[in-house]
Structures are given as structure tokens and as C-alpha cells.
Structure 1
Amino acid sequence: MTVLALPLLILTSLLASLCNGAGIATYWGQNTGEGTLAVACATGNYKFINIGFLNVFGNGQTPQLNLVGHCNPNIAGSCSSIGNDIAGCQSSGVKVFLSLGGGVGTYSNSTYSLSSFSDAQQVATFLWNNFLGGTSTSRPFGNAILDGIDFDIEAGTGANYDVLAKALQEHSTSQRKVFLSAAPQCPFPDAHLSHAINTGVFDFVWVQFYNNPSAACQYNGNTNQLLSSWSKWSTVNAGQVFLGIPVATGAASSGFIPPQVLISQVLPTIKSSPKYGGVMLWFRFFDTSYSNSIKGSI
């Protein structure tokens, strides 16, 4: 190899890495101790942040946000500072989504479902007018326009979420795309989101490889089950697939992967998938050092 060829090889490798576009996603909004959204984005560690959750919607219900003390969506203007933070995050290259659903039982008033095609269309219209590019007098985050909608559906039958996803996707234009993400559980196929994901309209799928100890699809001291499950998920009809893991032992009941294990035993395999997009960390409050320790290996 000539002297000139070596720097050229290094440059080519760097460009390939940059073009890959892999990154870290996380969830914010579930603990006031996690700091503001602006602080999360200022770390420079995240490519995507899901604001969670819109945990009441559908079946004729008035949609409700639950941001656990960050603001009170029922009080006009209470969440306007989050709108300012959203704009700041976007200006620094972070895409910010609103997450629908969440774990039922996490909050006493969590209840969501889509009872019909018409119901899904109505929820899509609500989301467009209150969080995306539409207009409403009751936008919780003011004029901030979120980049997309995340589906973290963990209850009900999963009916009509395909309708909701396609209705939202139809709002995409050449000037502004409405991104869609899904957070299925690692048992394949997912009980609630498989039909929606199969539509092919989702840009990102961050699979939850945690809280499923009996399903043999998460890390349990060795990587065999997780990598076997990943091989199935890496073929879904979506733009990119992310490995979703708890950021600390306290963030989930099971599935935590020590960062050195992730770097040495998991990432080298999953990064070979053409649809590999990065890692999703659940969730921001517990991320005191994990994202820092892995970001150079994503």
C-alpha cells in the first residue's frame, strides 16, 4: 500500500461512517429529574428524542398528554417552554417526535385505542393540527412543529394503527416530511404494531429488547437470544431498525446490557444489517453516562 493510499482509505472509511447516519434515540418526559428537553439535546448524544406520552386518545376520548410534572397541558401556556426547546433541538439537528401510548398501568388514566377507520382518521387530524403542520387554538407546544409521531402501542388489539400511520404519512410534502417511528416489543411479530409496520410507511423501528424475559428475545447474560431476535427484526418493511435497550438496571425490569458488552458483543453483529439505524435508550432520566460511553461505537 502506498503512503498516499492509507490516508485515502481512512478518509473513505470516515465518509462511509458518516453516510451510515447511525445514532442514538431516547425518550424524554417521564421524570422531572431528567432536566429540560433543551438540556437533553445539548448533550449532543441524541439524534432522535421522543416526547412521551400522549397516553389518552381514540374511541371518542379527548386526547391527553402526560409529561409527569414537566408541564400541565391542561393549563394554557404551561408547555410553551417545551415548544421553545423543540425548536432549539431541531436547530441543532435533533429530530423530535411525539410518542403515542406507553405502558398501560404506568399512569392511572392511561387508556387508548382506535375503534374504527373513522376514529383513526380523527386522531390523525388531531395530531396534525395540534403537534405537526396544521393549525389549532390549543397547540400544547405553541408554534413548534414536531418532526414526527412515534407509536409505542402496548395495549389493545392493534386495530386501525395502520390507518393512523397512513393518514399521518399522507401529510408529508417535499418541503416537510412527517416521520413515523414504532416501538414494538421484541417478540416477533409484535402483537400490537405488526400490521401497522407492514404498511411500509415507518421510517424508524426501535425494538424494545427489554421487559420480555419469558419471550427469549433479550439479553440475559449472553447475546444469543437477542441476536437471533434481531435477525428477524432487521428484515421488517421499514427504513431503519434500532436496538432498544434500558439505559440502566433501574430503567427496566430486565434486558440491561453493560456498555462494554454492547460494544464488543452486540454492535459488531447488528451493524452489518443494511437497515441498522442505531440504538434506542430507555430512557433519558437514567442516562447519566451510558450514551457517552457508547456513542463512539454506534
Structure 2
Amino acid sequence: MAPPTHPRPPASLLLVVAAILSVAGLATAINSSGFKGGVTVFWGRNKDEGSLAEACDTGRYTIVVISFLDVFGHGEYHLDISGHDPSTLGADIKHCQSTALVYLSIGGFGNNYSLPTNQSAVDLADHLWYTYMAGHKEGVYRPFGDDVEIDGIDFFIEHGSPENYDVLANRLWSYNKGFRARTPAQLSATPRCRYPDRLLGKAIATGVIGRINVRFYGDSYCATHWHQEWEKWTAVYPTQDIQLYVALTASQKVAGYIHLKSLHLGVLPVLQKAESFATFAIWDRYSDRLTNYSSSIVQWT
């Protein structure tokens, strides 16, 4: 007698199950770091900001974003960290990873990057994976050291076309399939405050970017319309499956600076109503070192 057959679930049901598993995996990635409190900080934009290890030793940061890989998309890659020597960062990265996650941000304020084709996105993903992350391939130079693996990639796209960053995000996330109980390719994005972000909207819509640092600085519009834009973000991402970080500047010289008293009394109570609000992201380590802005903020996380 032939073994009994079972009808194949409809394709729509399979898609629902796949979506549930994807979200569950993403939530695990977001919450598995074990680092509580603290804020995100961008490091690498000023030689006088101090070392990466010194930043982590403040105890205020649970994610440190090395910034930026500022050239990519046409077969060339360049890391600009303001005169810091990449070859000396390996020990600092490992030191930081005992208390924080370490990401690398791609893009920045230059205009020497783009992803003109799907293949260029795949090539960039492979470059990031094998050069900086958990992938290892013979003959690939690893500037931070052969045994140093950063935890994730941040998308900080300021110029060019939005095309193919969704391809890049999906390709990077796919590397996690080869690992059990951990996600060595975690992803974040740092869009401008206006929802949806013109350049990162498609990448964020993939659903594989688990942390979104919404920039409420560098734009005078955001300073006066932050509440309106925050409500848009939280309406689309109402739960902790996707975590929203409010990105602020630590420098009074940058548009959108919020004084600590105003932040504490006027802004924070609004933010805390949203389940998806995680904490803050600070631009940047140099300014924060001068002002100690995050030393007050970290008490509210």
C-alpha cells in the first residue's frame, strides 16, 4: 500500500509562516545582545575623538558604529575613519564587544558611492561579509585583523539613488542562515526624520533591518516637526520587532540640537509612549566627548 499523502499547504499559508519565522528571527537578533541600557554612538569622524576602546570604556554605549565605508558600488572600496589606523582597531573592537555591539556604517556625506546594479549590491555584501564580518575567504585582506568580526552593518545613505539597497539588505541578512542561535549579520539604518526616507525606504521595507536610527538632527524641519514625524514612524513600526532609536546630535553647532532639559521634560515623555522606542543614537563621539551629552541621556535608558 502506498504511504498516505498529505496535501501541500497553500502558497499563501507558506508565505505567512515564512514571514512569522523571519520576524521571530529578527526579534531574536535584536534582543540577543544581552546589553541593556546605554545608547548608540557614531565613532570615526574626528581624529581627536579618542580611541574606540576609550569610547567603550565610558560604559555609556551599547552599540558603537564605525563610520564610514564611503566608497563602493563600482568595484572600489574605501574606509574613511578620519585618520585612525584600521590595523590598530582589532584589539579595540574585541575589547568593545564585551560590553557593546560594533557596527560598520556604509555611505556618509560624500558622493562616491552608489549601487547601480543588483550585482553591485551583491558584490558589496560579499565584500562586507568577507572583509569585516564573520565570513572568511582565503586571500581576502581583513583590515581589522583576520580574527576580528564586527557585529553588523548600518545603512547611512545621504546621496544618490535608492536602488538596490534592498538587494544589499536581503543579501547580508541571508548570511545568517548558516548559523544557529546567532545572527552575525545584524542590520541597522540611519535615515532622515521624514517618513518615508527617500533613499532608504526600500531597504527598510525589506523587514530585515532591525534597528532604525531616525535622525532628528541636521535638518531644521526635524527640529520643529519631530513629533509629527515620530508619529509616522511609530505608526508603521508599533512594536519591538523593529526598534526605533532617536538619533540626536551632541553638538549645539548642528541644526536640530535639543537641550537636555527640553529633551527630558518635553520630548522623552512622548517617545516613551511608543513600544518600539528603544533608546537614543548620538552623533557623534567627538562631540559627545566634549559635551558629555550622553552621560545624562544614559540615565533615562
Same fold (TM over 0.5): yes
SS in 2 for 1:201: coil
Structure 1 position 89 matched with structure 2 position 96: yes
How far the C-alpha of 1:31 sits from its partner, in A, is 0.5
Mark the CA change 1:42 to 1:21 in structure 2 (over 3 Å): closer, same or farther: closer
Structure 1 position 47 matched with structure 2 position 50: no
Q: What residue number does 2:131 align with? A: 130
Q: What residue number does 2:107 align with? A: 101
TM-score, length-normalised on structure 2?
0.82
How far the C-alpha of 1:255 sits from its partner, in A, is 0.2
- 1:4-26 deviations in Å (ceiling 9; x for gaps): xxxxxxxxxxxxxxx99453111
Q: What residue number does 1:248 align with? A: 251
Contact 1:32–1:68 (8 Å) recurs in 2: yes
- 1:153-197 deviations in Å (ceiling 9; x for gaps): 011111000000010001113243111000001111101000110
TM-score, length-normalised on structure 1?
0.83
SS in 2 for 1:278: strand
Q: What is the rounded CA distance, in whole Å, between the counterparts of 2:67 and 2:103 in structure 1?
A: 9
Contact 1:133–1:145 (8 Å) recurs in 2: yes
Structure 1 position 162 matched with structure 2 position 166: yes
- 1:225-275 deviations in Å (ceiling 9; x for gaps): 21111111123456100111111113x2x1000011111111111111111
Q: What residue number does 1:68 align with? A: 82
- Please, which of 179, 182, 186 is the counterpart of residue 176 of structure 1? 182
Q: What is the rounded CA distance, in whole Å, between the counterparts of 1:129 and 1:29 in structure 2?
A: 21
SS in 1 for 2:97: helix
Q: What is the rounded CA distance, in whole Å, between the counterparts of 2:46 and 2:243 in structure 1?
A: 28
Q: What is the rounded CA distance, in whole Å, between the counterparts of 2:233 and 2:160 in structure 1?
A: 22
Contact 1:197–1:236 (8 Å) recurs in 2: no
How many residues align? The count is: 257
Q: What is the rounded CA distance, in whole Å, between the counterparts of 1:160 and 1:243 in structure 2?
A: 26
Contact 1:23–1:277 (8 Å) recurs in 2: no
Sequence identity of aligned pairs in percent?
Answer: 37
Q: What residue number does 2:267 align with? A: 266
The 4+ residue runs of structure 1 with deviation greater than 4 A are 19-22
Q: What is the rounded CA distance, in whole Å, between the counterparts of 1:123 and 1:176 in structure 2?
A: 22
Structure 1 position 295 matched with structure 2 position 275: no
Q: What is the rounded CA distance, in whole Å, between the counterparts of 2:236 and 2:64 in structure 1?
A: 22
- 1:119-177 deviations in Å (ceiling 9; x for gaps): 11111001000010112531110121000000000111110000000100011132431
Q: What residue number does 1:80 align with? A: 87
Structure 1 position 239 matched with structure 2 position 242: yes
Q: What is the rounded CA distance, in whole Å, between the counterparts of 2:47 and 2:35 in structure 1?
A: 34
Q: What is the rounded CA distance, in whole Å, between the counterparts of 1:219 and 1:189 in structure 2?
A: 17
